[in-house]
Chain A
């Protein structure tokens, strides 16, 4: 399974909405699809698990959706602190964690 994220980079203004795509090379279980945020110089942080469940302390402007092979992370009302690289991840128990190439969001 390969995860393809698009776009590679997006430049937006504060208050705008961002839609980040994660497309799998075949249908996958949404239960094993997660999203992470990595700010510059920091470790990744869990945002969304099971395709649409927000992690603890994650603002509600972050939401996840999708099924099958197409998943989306939506950030509504962008803030400057949302400048980061966002990764989707699928857990294939026979292979391990599979990460997409990331989408850089510049505010």
Chain B
């Protein structure tokens, strides 16, 4: 069955970097667009980034553009999100999600990123 498992979260100081991973099983990640969505503590959902089937298609939310980079590794069937120049406003649970048409049909369980000095 389809499963998405995020890892790489943790506590990081402002200005530092972190890389999140999302390992997929039950399907070939290369055949789907993949999204990152985050949720600050007690807040709603905020879209972060997408990578299309065509990897030249990448798009980012305004709040992370220029700081975050989405990528994937086909052999390991893993999606990545590189988070640079982190600020306290980036503190959130980060979810990876599989795109199906014009919505997302599967979500991972999330990885918590806490930016704090």
Interface residues of A, Cβ cutoff 8 Å to B: 31-32, 34, 36, 38, 42-46, 49-50, 55, 85, 87, 89, 91, 95-102
Q: Which of B58-90 contact A (CB under 8 A)?
A: 59-61
B31 at the interface (CB under 8 A from A): no
Main secondary structure of the interface of B (DSSP, over half): strand
Q: Is the CB of A91 within 8 A of B103?
A: yes
A95 to B60, CA, bound (A): 8
Chain B 76-117, CB-CB to A under 8 Å as 1, else 0, gives: 000000000000000000010000111111111110000000
Q: Is the CB of B50 within 8 A of A44?
A: no
* Cβ-defined partner of B105 (8 Å) among A31, A32, A46, A85: A46
CB-defined contacts of A87 to chain B, threshold 8 Å: 44-45
CB-defined contacts of A95 to chain B, threshold 8 Å: 59
CB-defined contacts of B103 to chain A, threshold 8 Å: 32, 34, 46, 49-50, 89, 91
A49 to B100, CA, bound (A): 10
User: Which of A87, A89, A96, A100 has the most chain B CB atoms closer than 10 A to its own CB?
Assistant: A96
Q: Which of B29-43 contact A (CB under 8 A)?
A: 35, 37
Q: A87-B44, A99-B47 are in contact. Are A43 and B61 (CB under 8 A)?
A: no
Q: Is the CB of A32 within 8 A of B102?
A: yes
Q: Is the CB of B46 within 8 A of A99?
A: yes
User: Which of A32, A44, A100 has the most chain B CB atoms closer than 10 A to its own CB?
Assistant: A44
Q: Is the CB of A96 within 8 A of B45?
A: no
Q: Is the CB of A96 within 8 A of B50?
A: yes
Q: Is the CB of A97 within 8 A of B37?
A: yes
* Cβ-defined partner of B44 (8 Å) among A45, A55, A102: A102
